[in-house]
A and B are shown apart, each in its own frame.
Chain A
Amino acid sequence: MKPAPFQYNRAETLSEATSMLATLKNARLLSGGQSLMSMMNLRYVTADHLIDLNRVQELAGIALDETHLRVRGMTRQRSLLEHQPLLARAPIFREALEFVGHIQTRNRGTVGGSLAHMDPAAELMGLAALMGAEITMTSEGAQRQVAIADYPLGYMTPNIEPLEILTDVAFELWPEGHGWDFREFAQCHGDFAVVGVGTLIANDDSGMIERAATVLIGVDDQPVRLRDVEDMLTGETPSESLFRDAGALASKHDMMGDALVTSAYRKQIAGVLVRRSLTQAVKRATEQKNV
């Protein structure tokens, strides 16, 4: 037993949870607990009350339509990895989610919890930035939608008000036949990435790149969309030299340094990963067209 004393409160419904949040003093929401409990065990976080959302059944669920994936906040990360229609429609989810922690943490960890925690290397935040996600917050009697561009406010600080619960996230899906890639460099599998990159590519019938999206994680306090790289690729015919130039451009972005990894090293790794990721995503886009 490591955490400081707190009172445990179990919510059974969303309205019960928002009402607890509005009335209990110094309360924290307990989602999958795979970050919060660690931080409480280390006493980085102390709370007078925990409001457990794990029994709120209405807060878990996955809905897939023509254009969007909608996920409720308490959906387990494992549930996305088991959702075959999603993995067929947007295979990048499989590739990215396999990097999220470990089997044991994905079994408990939730989509909403990861987005609310907002670790700089969080894969789900990276996918949200890559796929133009919209995030819904619910408080007593009110809802608020936030576009992913307006969601991060700073280091591990999301745009969630004190009385709000992150209840939904909608990811915009790419058309059938797109190419994808998600890869990371980390000291060992499941560690926080030194650098991670996600890429989506859509080719036209002649093989020209029609649309490109690329995101880096782990390099700044929030995911970084590489708009300059995307512009460079759009309308071009794929080639090794194009991917090399794109990697070089990616490595020009400012990146953080920390006690273990310098900024210069991150930039070098990012350049290589972006080049490889584009190569793979374009290859898959071509294969999809030829199916």
Chain B
Amino acid sequence: MSEGQHTHTVTLTVNGDVHTAEVEDRFSLADFLRKKLGLTGTHLGCEHGVCGACTVLVEGEAVRGCLMLAVQADGQEVTTIEGLADIGGNLNTLQQAFMDNHSLQCGFCTPGILTTLTAFLQDTPDADEISIRKALSGNICRCTGYDTIVRAALSAAATLRAGQS
């Protein structure tokens, strides 16, 4: 590293695997996932907290990957889009609902929307359309117009509820 660049060594658990790496202090968590771990499913759009594409789960809560430093996530558990499907690559309920409802076109926003909805449906199993639309207010999609995304979320919520009862 060139002079003047400050670094820390961090250890974090990503999708169940423990990783230790040296990172520049100014690396965001999203930078770390993409550049150090090669997990490029986490997308960087605006990099100032507006678009939601970089949303990942830290300790189970949806956060902006571009507004949290990698060094801040030291010792914590992170889940990315790569951690949603099972090891065999089978889509989970929410992902399958997105496929069934044509909830993506270009797919750039999709990882952030799936991570956001994963946490939201855990917190709010009986979510209705209005609460889903509010939950998605921090994720920008420029293709779908959101209708098919909301439909998928409602359908996944119903499936998850039925599975629990």
Contact of A38 among B6, B49, B55, B119 (CB under 8 A): B49
User: Are B26 and A5 in touch, CB under 8 angstroms?
Assistant: yes
* Contact residues of B between 1 and 25, Cβ < 8 Å to A: 4-6, 8, 24-25
Contact of A108 among B4, B31, B67, B71 (CB under 8 A): B67
* Contact residues of B between 64 and 86, Cβ < 8 Å to A: 64, 66-69, 71-72
Contacts of B62 in A (CB 8 A): 103-104, 107
A7 interface residue (CB < 8 Å to B) = yes
Q: Could you tell me the distance in whole angstroms from the C-beta of B5 to the nearest C-beta in chain A?
A: 6
Q: Could you tell me the distance in whole angstroms from the C-beta of B90 to the nearest C-beta in chain A?
A: 27
Contacts of A54 in B (CB 8 A): 72
- Could you tell me the distance between the alpha carbons of A101 and B151 in the complex, rounded to whole angstroms? 24
Q: Could you tell me the distance in whole angstroms from the C-beta of A40 to the nearest C-beta in chain B?
A: 8
Contacts of B116 in A (CB 8 A): 103-104
User: Are B48 and A1 in touch, CB under 8 angstroms?
Assistant: no
B137 interface residue (CB < 8 Å to A) = yes
B41 interface residue (CB < 8 Å to A) = no
- Could you tell me the distance between the alpha carbons of A102 and B140 in the complex, rounded to whole angstroms? 12
- Could you tell me the distance between the alpha carbons of A173 and B29 in the complex, rounded to whole angstroms? 39
User: Are B67 and A5 in touch, CB under 8 angstroms?
Assistant: no
Q: Could you tell me the distance in whole angstroms from the C-beta of B57 to the nearest C-beta in chain A?
A: 10
Interface size on A, residues (CB 8 A): 30
A175 interface residue (CB < 8 Å to B) = no
B135 interface residue (CB < 8 Å to A) = yes
Contact of A104 among B8, B133, B138 (CB under 8 A): B138
List the A residue with the shortest CB-CB distance to B115. Answer: A104
User: Are A8 and B8 in touch, CB under 8 angstroms?
Assistant: yes
Q: Could you tell me the distance in whole angstroms from the C-beta of A16 to the nearest C-beta in chain B?
A: 16
Q: Chain B 41-69, CB within 8 Å of chain A: the 1/0 string?
A: 00000011110100100000111101111
B120 interface residue (CB < 8 Å to A) = yes
Contacts of A107 in B (CB 8 A): 61-63
Q: Could you tell me the distance in whole angstroms from the C-beta of B119 to the nearest C-beta in chain A?
A: 7
Q: Could you tell me the distance in whole angstroms from the C-beta of A271 to the nearest C-beta in chain B?
A: 26
Q: Could you tell me the distance in whole angstroms from the C-beta of A180 to the nearest C-beta in chain B?
A: 20
User: Are B26 and A190 in touch, CB under 8 angstroms?
Assistant: no
User: Are B47 and A190 in touch, CB under 8 angstroms?
Assistant: no
List the B residue with the shortest CB-CB distance to A186. Answer: B137
5 contacts between A and B (CB under 8 A): A1-B28, A8-B6, A41-B48, A104-B63, A104-B138
New A-B pairs, 8, CB < 8 Å, besides A102-B138, A103-B135: A10-B71, A33-B72, A37-B68, A41-B47, A104-B63, A105-B67, A108-B68, A189-B134
Q: Hey, which bits of chain A sit against chain B, CB under 8 A? A: 1-8, 10, 33-34, 37-38, 41-42, 50, 52, 54, 78, 98, 101-105, 107-108, 188-190
Q: Hey, which bits of chain B sit against chain A, CB under 8 A? A: 4-6, 8, 24-28, 31, 47-50, 52, 55, 61-64, 66-69, 71-72, 116, 119-120, 133-135, 137-139
